[in-house]
Amino acid sequence: MNRPQVFNRLTTLLVLASVWLASLATGATTVRASGGNSGPGNGSAVDKCSPDLIKIANTAGNTHVKVIVQAASSSSNNLLDSLLRNLGGTVLSLLPQLNMRLVDMTASNAQALAYDDSVSYMSIDNEVRSFGHLTTTTGTLQSRSQRNALGLNYTLDGSSVNIAILDSGIDTTHKSFSSQGGKVIFSKDFTGENRTDDPYGHGTHVAAVAAGVGTPTDGDYEGVASAANLVNLRVINSQGIGSVSSVLKALDWLMANRVLYNVRVVNMSLGAPAINSYKDDPVCQAVRKLVNAGVVVVTAAGNNGKLTTGQKIYGAIHCPGNEPSAITVGASNTFGTDARNEDTVTTFSSRGPTRSWSTDSHNVRHYDNIIKPDLVAPGNKIVSAEARNNKLLTLHPELETNNYSTTNMKLMYMSGTSVSAPVVAGTAALLLELNPNLTPNMVKMILMYTAQPLNGFNTFEQGAGELNVAGSVAIAKLVKNELLNLTPAVGSSFLTQSAPTAQTTISRSSFPWAQGLLLNHSTITGSNLITKYQKSYGKGYLLGDGVNEGLFTQSLSSNSWSGGLSLANYLMTSDGTPMGGGGIMCPTGIMIGDGIMIADGIMIADGIMISDGIMIGDGIMIGDGIMIGDGIMIADSSTGDSTAGME
């Protein structure tokens, strides 16, 4: 350690000591000491700081960093602010709905602050990047036509449901958003550029996939929830770059204003490397608060599914896709056809499990190993709205479709899980239109249960399977409306009538439903998932709650789950039949083993696992052109599997 760092640490410890003595006099929260060091309190700063923050503090402690400070729920705000001032920190932003602060301070002082009990977790304000025939192949149009034929009293176009889009802005002049952008009911910029249009070009495309009107194109290029309104929260700047703090500011605003603007669904086609465990990461924590408040949050899995050499990569799910309460979406390839018997998972779609981690006081890493993505949706060469004069097209003119010549009618191609996520967000809006009482967990459960298992792809690649709008609508319209007005018992009736046949036919292609769910480290199957109410379907729970985990074994709690359900022992490579059919990939028990799953980075001869997530200077790095920092990458379009479009 060099002399300036020693001096800085001594100064920090003296400041902390003075604050601690003052706190004894006032009866305030005590300061915590690191593992083996003497001092007031107990605990460790190591497990309360993100790995990249610790690395900077230990190697360049005088460097100023912007840090997200999560306050402990029982902390005194006055004491925390006093500590920050005494340690030379400047509070740049308060996020009261999330109980967080954005602070500028030196890295070593930031690490010292973590010793205090008033701090829950601290992480660096890293960069966030955007990632990059639809209604027919998903079964959306089919469901609408059935509604008309049967004379049912719903429109099935997302009416009365508003979707928040956290992205690079929306070009409200585009005809996909109706006259004078009437669909976009509110816009706010969080990038500091003081504009809410879309000079980058990503958010406009994403928003139109979720909720673009089809009238200008005679229905050829219509969003999934074409009558849903949009809330435009701009967190990605004109260069395609954002920050964790800009995303948190948007989510904090959303927590405070979700009811005012009737936001029931949030789409986040963006992400950052998933280093911090979801239990600590500030964006994951913010997502959890929104979901607990009744908002469905849909996230992109990421586009890091392969090396430049074409070899598969596992464990590259991005944040906040590593958050269990979010609906994390990978990308499928429909090859431009409406029939689904040839659909695959794209090679670029990020695979699970999540490899974010926490570090205990003994410096031992504990990996999350959550099974992700939850499902996949079309995300290859999707045509949607083109923002005027956008940077993506300037960099990659080959994305232009030349379908229309009028500026506010132009369309462009994009591929990526960025495009898949709004397909699912739009579908969530349809389900909430059908039944506004659905909880986020009910929406997530229905989407997974009715998904189509894709033959030859394992659970880490496709989750439960490919999105099936027609099947999810068939279930959602039968869920009892009054469930949220009661405290339903586990095992009580979930539907108003018998469950429909677990099979869907789209464009003369029939397929079975998955008939199962992902539960953190395992999968569960059984018809009682949709016929009987399960405790974890309520607000404030994860779907995986009620699963008892031992060192390598799992079991269901009868207080949370009804009988007649089967908790799987293995993750499978699907044979195209319901979940559990196919070849064994790996036992689910080793998912709990804190990293023993892939000790050297090799994943069971099925690809490469990034054993340390995407840690700076540590672990296996992804090849040139695929790291998030490189933005968009265009693969050979002749393969039909392009990675154009960002996350």
**Confidence class for position 589, pLDDT limits 50, 70, 90:** confident
Cα–Cα distance for residue pair 170/179, rounded to 1 Å: 14
Q: Same domain, yes or no, for 377 and 422?
A: yes
**Residues 322-349 pLDDT 10s:** 999 999 999 998 877 777 878 899 999 9
Partnered with residue 412 across adjacent β-strands are 384, 400
pLDDT of residue 363: 82
Average pLDDT over residues 87-110: 90
Q: What is the C-alpha to C-alpha distance for residues 5 and 13, in angstroms, rounded to an integer? A: 12
What's the pLDDT at 126? Answer: 79
Q: Which long-range contacts (CB under 8 A, 24 or more apart) does 362-365 make?
A: 362/35, 363/46, 364/594, 365/594, 365/595
- Residue of 474, 544, 546, 537 whose CA lies nearest to 505: 474
Co-location of 312 and 325 in the same domain? yes
CB count in 10 Å sphere of residue 71: 20
Average pLDDT over residues 373-380: 94
Identify the domain containing residue 65 by its residue range.
3-125
Q: How far is CA 263 from CA 198, 228, 418, in A?
A: 21, 10, 20
Q: Which residues contact 260 (CB under 8 A, 6 or more apart)?
A: none
Cβ 202 vs Cβ 418: under 8 Å:
yes
pLDDT band at 485; cut points 50, 70, 90: low
Q: Tell me, what CATH number does 97's domain have?
A: 3.30.70.80
The tokens describing 114, both together, are 């973590």
549 domain-assigned: yes
Residue 647 lies in a domain: no
DSSP letter for 621, please: P
Last residue of a domain, one of 109, 125, 141: 125
Cα–Cα distance for residue pair 588/590, rounded to 1 Å: 6
Region of poorest pLDDT, from 487-496, 506-515, 630-639: 630-639
Instruction: Count the Cβ atoms, other than its own, within 10 Å of residue 142.
Output: 20
User: Do 185 and 276 lie in a common domain?
Assistant: yes
Q: Mark whether 42 and 181 lie in a shared domain.
A: no
- Using alpha carbons, select from 312, 395, 322 the residue that is nearest to residue 646: 395
Both 119 and 181 in a single domain? no
Q: Do the domain assignments include residue 639?
A: no
What are the structure tokens assigned to 80, written together? 């925390």
Q: Quick one: which H or E segment has residue 301?
A: none
Q: Within this chain, do residues 100 and 135 fall inside the same structural domain, yes or no?
A: no
**Which of 79, 85, 219 is closest to 145 using CA atoms?**
219
Domain boundary among 93, 125, 157: 125
289 & 399 share domain: yes
- Res. 645 pLDDT band, cuts 50 70 90: very low
Where would I find the beta strands (DSSP E) of 171-321?
Answer: 184-189, 229-234, 241-243, 263-268, 270-271, 296-300, 313-314
Gyration radius (Cα) of the chain, Å: 24
Query: Does some domain include residue 427?
Result: yes
Band of pLDDT at residue 214, cut at 50, 70 and 90: confident
Tokens representing 220? 């050829």
256-270: average pLDDT:
97
Tokens (6 digits) for 311: 């070899």
Question: pLDDT tens digits for 8-21?
Answer: 444 444 444 443 33
Please give the angle made by the CA atoms of 199, 204 and 209, to the nearest 5 degrees: 160
Same domain membership, residue 100 and residue 149: no
**Lowest-confidence range among 28-32, 200-204, 271-275, 509-513?**
28-32
21 & 99 share domain? yes
Order the strands of the 241-243 sheet from edge to edge: 241-243, 127-130, 270-271
Spell 466-500 as b/e; 16+ CB within 10 A means b: bbbbbbbbbbbbbbbeebbeeebebbeebbeeebb
Name the 3-class secondary structure at 151. coil
Taking the CA atoms of 320, 325, 326 and 328 in sequence, report the sign of the dihedral they define: positive
- Whether a cis peptide bond, with omega within 30° of 0, leads into 373 is yes
Q: Determine, yes or no, domain membership for 638.
A: no
Question: What's the CA gap between 438 and 435, in Å, rounded?
Answer: 6
% of the chain with per-residue pLDDT over 90: 51
Q: At what angle do helices 469-476 and 140-150 cross, to 10 degrees?
A: 40
Q: What is the pLDDT of residue 643?
A: 34
Contact by Cβ (8 Å): 463, 448: yes
Distances (CA, A) of 438 to 363, 434, 448: 42, 9, 15
CA distances from 97 to 73, 120, 162, 201, 255 (A): 12, 16, 21, 30, 6
Per-residue pLDDT at 88 exceeds 70: yes
Q: Provide the strand spans (E) within 77-215.
A: 90-95, 100-106, 119-124, 127-130, 162-167, 184-189
Residue 640 within a domain: no
Q: How far is CA 145 from CA 217, 341, 421, 462, in A?
A: 19, 22, 24, 28
pTM above 0.85, yes or no: no
Give whichever of 78-87, 467-476, 587-596 has the largest mean pLDDT: 467-476
Is 429 part of a structural domain of the chain?
yes
Q: What is the pLDDT of residues 517-554, one digit of tens each?
A: 999 999 999 999 999 999 999 999 999 999 998 888 89
Same domain, 113 and 221: no
Q: For Cα atoms 283, 289, 292, give the angle at the middle one, nearest 5 degrees.
A: 140
Whether 381 and 368 have beta carbons less than 8 Å apart is answered as: no
In three-state secondary structure terms, 272 is strand
Q: What is the CATH number of the domain that holds 318?
A: 3.40.50.200
CA–CA distance, 397 with 401 (Å, rounded to integer): 9
As a whole number, mean pLDDT of residues 282-300 equals 97
Domain boundary residue, one of 95, 125, 155:
125
pLDDT tens, position by position, 419-459? 999 999 999 999 999 999 999 999 999 999 999 999 999 99
**Phi and psi of 458, rounded to 5°?**
-90, 175
HEC string of 380-423? Answer: CCEEEECCCCCHHHHHCHHHECCCCCCHHHCEEEECCHHHHHHH
- Alpha-carbon distance of 356 to 273, in angstroms, equals 9
Average pLDDT over the chain reads 81
Has residue 635 been placed in a domain? no
Asked whether 536 and 441 are in contact (CB, 8 A), the reply is: yes
N-terminal to C-terminal alpha carbon distance within the chain: 39
CA distance 459 to 518: 9
On the CB side of 271, CA atoms within 13 Å amount to: 34
Position 279 scores a pLDDT of 95
Side chain identity at residue 207, one-letter code: A
Helix (H) or strand (E) holding 265: strand 263-268
- 139 & 117 share domain: no
**285, containing H or E segment:** helix 282-292
- Inter-residue contact 384 to 412 (CB < 8 Å): yes
Q: Examine residue 578 and say whether the peptide bond preceding it is cis (omega within 30 degrees of 0).
A: no
User: Could you read off the pLDDT of 136-192 as tens digits, one per residue?
Assistant: 555 555 665 555 444 455 678 889 999 999 999 999 999 999 865 589 999 999 999
The larger pLDDT score, comparing residue 39 to residue 385, is at 385
Domain total of the chain? 2
Q: Tokens at residue 315, please? A: 């464990």
Kindly state whether residues 97 and 238 are assigned to the same domain: no
